[in-house]
Structure 1
Amino acid sequence: MPAPLNPFKRALAAGEMQFGCWLGLADTFSAEIMGQAGFDWLVIDGEHGPNDLRSILAQLQVLAATNAHAVVRVPVGETYMLKQVLDAGAQTVLVPMVESGDQARQLVRDVTYPPHGDRGVGYALTRAARFGTVSDYGTTANAQICLLVQVENRRGLAALDDILAVDGVDGVFIGPADLAADMGHMGNADHADVQTAIMDAISRIRAAGKAPGILSTRDSMTDDAIAAGAQFVAVGADVLLLGQAARALAQKWQATKE
Structure 2
Amino acid sequence: MSESVRYNKVIDLLESGHTVFASGLIWNGNIDDVMFVSDSDYDMVMIEMEHEGFNFDSLKLSLQFLLNRKRIAEKGSVQADVVPLVRIPPNARELSQWIIKQALDTGVYGIIIPHLNTVEEAKAAVVAARYPQVQGAADFEPQGERGWWQRIAPRYWGITPQEYYDAADLWPLDPNGNMLLIGIIEEPLGVENLRDILNEVKGIGAIWAGPGDMSVSMGLRGNAGHADVQSNLLRILETCKEFNVPCATGANSPDEVAMRINQGFRIIITSPQTVTPGLTEGRRLAGR
Shift of residue 153, structure 1, vs aligned partner: 0.4
Corresponding residue of 1:156: 190
- Tell me, in whole angstroms, the C-alpha distance in 1 between the residues paired with 2:255 and 2:227: 13
1:59 aligned counterpart, secondary structure: helix
Uncovered stretches (5+) of structure 2, i.e. residues with no partner? 72-80, 134-142, 170-176, 276-288
1:88 aligned to 2:106? yes
- Tell me, in whole angstroms, the C-alpha distance in 1 between the residues paired with 2:272 and 2:114: 17
1:205 aligned to 2:223? no
Which one of the candidate residues 200, 204, 218 is aligned to 1:169?
204
Corresponding residue of 1:251: none
Corresponding residue of 2:85: 71
1:129 aligned counterpart, secondary structure: helix
1:179 aligned to 2:214? yes
Asked if the contact 1:26/1:49 (under 8 Å) is kept, the reply is no
- Tell me, in whole angstroms, the C-alpha distance in 2 between the residues paired with 1:199 and 1:137: 37
Corresponding residue of 1:6: 8
- Tell me, in whole angstroms, the C-alpha distance in 2 between the residues paired with 1:199 and 1:91: 27
Asked if the contact 1:24/1:237 (under 8 Å) is kept, the reply is no
1:144 aligned counterpart, secondary structure: coil
Letter in structure 2 aligned against 1:11: L
Corresponding residue of 1:48: 51
Shift of residue 91, structure 1, vs aligned partner: 1.0
| Number of positions where the alignment pairs a residue of Structure 1 with one of Structure 2 | 239
Shift of residue 202, structure 1, vs aligned partner: 1.0
Q: Percent identity?
A: 24
Matches within 5 A, 1:223-234: 223-234=258-269
Corresponding residue of 1:104: 122
1:94 aligned counterpart, secondary structure: strand
TM-score, normalised on structure 2?
0.76
Deviations 1:168-227 (A, max 9, x none): 110000110000111121121111111111122112212211110012214444433322
Corresponding residue of 2:279: none
- Tell me, in whole angstroms, the C-alpha distance in 2 between the residues paired with 1:38 and 1:136: 28
Q: Quick one: structure 1 residues 81 and 40, their matched pair in 2 at CA, closer, same or farther if it must change by over 3 Å?
A: same
Corresponding residue of 2:75: none
1:230 aligned counterpart, secondary structure: coil
1:130 aligned counterpart, secondary structure: helix
TM-score, normalised on structure 1?
0.84
Q: Quick one: structure 1 residues 185 and 40, their matched pair in 2 at CA, closer, same or farther if it must change by over 3 Å?
A: same
- Tell me, in whole angstroms, the C-alpha distance in 2 between the residues paired with 1:62 and 1:51: 18
State the structure with bigger RCO (CA 8 A, min sep 6), 1 or 2: 1
Which one of the candidate residues 202, 216, 231 is aligned to 1:196?
231
Corresponding residue of 1:117: 144
- Tell me, in whole angstroms, the C-alpha distance in 2 between the residues paired with 1:75 and 1:95: 8
Q: Quick one: structure 1 residues 118 and 25, their matched pair in 2 at CA, closer, same or farther if it must change by over 3 Å?
A: closer
- Tell me, in whole angstroms, the C-alpha distance in 1 between the residues paired with 2:29 and 2:225: 28
1:110 aligned counterpart, secondary structure: helix
Uncovered stretches (5+) of structure 1, i.e. residues with no partner? 242-258
Asked if the contact 2:84/2:108 (under 8 Å) is kept, the reply is yes
Asked if the contact 2:28/2:59 (under 8 Å) is kept, the reply is no
Letter in structure 2 aligned against 1:82: I
1:15 aligned counterpart, secondary structure: coil
When structure 1 is superposed on structure 2, of 42-51 and 24-33 the one drifting more is 24-33
- Tell me, in whole angstroms, the C-alpha distance in 2 between the residues paired with 1:158 and 1:122: 37
Q: Quick one: structure 1 residues 47 and 210, their matched pair in 2 at CA, closer, same or farther if it must change by over 3 Å?
A: same
Corresponding residue of 1:253: none
Shift of residue 135, structure 1, vs aligned partner: 3.1
1:59 aligned to 2:62? yes
Corresponding residue of 1:38: 41
